[in-house]
Amino acid sequence: MKILTTGGHLTPALAFIDYVVCHSDLSVEFVFLGRTFSQLENKQRSHERRAIEKRNIRFIPFQSGKLSYHSPLQLITQSWQVCVGLVQAMNILKTKKPDVVVLFGGYLAVPVAIASWIKRIPVITHEQTAVASLSNQIISLFSKKIAVSYRSSLSQFPQSKTVFTGNLLRQKLEDKSPKMPNWYAATDNYPLLYITGGNQGSQVINATIAQILPQLTKDWTIIHQCGAPTKKTNYRQQLEDEIARHSKPSQQRYFVKEWITEDELSWIYKNAAIVISRAGANTVFELQHFGIPSILIPLPFSHKQEQLRNAEQAVQSGGSILLTQNHLNPESLLAAIKQLASNRAARRKKMQLEDKDVNGTKKFWDLVSSCFVT
């Protein structure tokens, strides 16, 4: 059985691949279509290739247009790039001959879904967010089955082919005794604050954190995942230059990394007191699953404010604080941290997620394999 997979959400794709490799009785070969650059215009390198090739899986560079309603000119330009992606996808499918195509949302998956439908290869897609993305709304038209992470998302797709599986959780994050990262060497017994802007990092969050490093390191040990450099900005270098201006104790309590591996993240989740993060579906799911209080700063430009919807659902659990980007500044972030830290033990107890203890990875694999068998 050969599975071709791609999509904008790398985390559930890795969870799916790892589960199948470890638990499937079938002989499965994977092919992954991915981006060389996560931000093509800024030349920010993607971590997809490294993560995929680390698993000894064939990685094929792939690019497509990103459909948007913001500008008619942009829509025309991007539509042309989707057409180019469609031709490329047709050629890849012809060469690789997958039995099934598994997609994880995002603009990259749109031409692959269309090409697979043309070639009569079954498509199964997974929607992680609380609000259906534009890409997945298009992809759903060409899909045999659609899996969703939230029961509330069932109504957003055709009932006859939509299935609730829950989100997909990476197996390594469930490690009961993860090893402390070898670069982490905190000497003081300060609570751990983890900061992440997602795979690409967040310039806004990074800039705000840089302004309050002296205040933060008085009370916290910090691990900050800042994102890879772009052609305009080297986030890590800027943050390292900033912390170098402060006291030695502050420097010893601040660890900035471009990327956090799954093994490192497993340890961080087991030890973090609170997290500051964007509100991507997978990160929110993981924070809820492990019961970690968080300050969520949704990306304001996501389709139909999907990150805002993700954050709002997390806030309902009692464990998260929502801080919108237009209200983000050093003072508001420090106030939110103080508020969250003052009752984080109580917040942990309150945190509940629908089907929280159920990892949707097995359900999703059962769905994929049933489509192949039938």
Beta carbons of 313 and 340 less than 8 angstroms apart: no
Residue ranges of the alpha helices (H) in 24-108? 48-53, 72-96
Query: What does pTM read for this prediction?
Result: 0.88
Shared domain for 147 and 214, answered yes or no, is no
* Residue 118 neighbours by CB under 8 Å, 6+ apart: 90
Shared domain for 54 and 193, answered yes or no, is no
Q: At what angle do helices 330-342 and 203-211 cross, to 10 degrees?
A: 80
Shared domain for 165 and 205, answered yes or no, is no
Shared domain for 198 and 267, answered yes or no, is yes
Residues spanned by the domain of 330? 174-350
Shared domain for 154 and 111, answered yes or no, is yes
- pLDDT 10s per residue in the chain (374 long)? 899 999 888 899 999 999 999 988 888 999 999 988 766 566 667 788 889 999 999 999 998 867 655 555 665 666 777 888 899 999 999 999 999 999 998 888 999 999 999 999 999 999 988 888 788 899 999 999 999 988 888 999 999 999 999 999 998 999 999 999 999 987 788 999 999 998 788 999 999 999 999 999 999 999 999 998 888 889 999 999 999 999 999 999 999 999 999 999 999 999 999 999 999 889 999 998 899 999 999 998 766 788 998 899 889 888 899 999 999 999 999 999 999 998 887 787 777 544 454 578 999 999 999 876 55
Shared domain for 161 and 12, answered yes or no, is yes
Q: Is 67 exposed, middle or buried (CB count within 10 Å of its CB: 0-12, 13-18, 19+)?
A: middle
Shared domain for 160 and 298, answered yes or no, is no
Shared domain for 74 and 152, answered yes or no, is yes
Q: What is the total count of domains within the chain?
A: 2
Per DSSP bridges, beta strands 254-257 and 44-45 are unpaired
What are the two backbone dihedrals, phi and then psi, of residue 214, each rounded to the nearest 5 degrees?
-60, -40
Shared domain for 115 and 34, answered yes or no, is yes
Instruction: Residue 340: give its domain's CATH number.
Output: 3.40.50.2000
Shared domain for 139 and 158, answered yes or no, is yes
Closest CA to 208 of 228, 226, 234, 186: 226
Shared domain for 212 and 129, answered yes or no, is no
The Cα-based distances of 329 to 240, 270, 310, 324 in angstroms read: 20, 28, 22, 10
Shared domain for 123 and 228, answered yes or no, is no
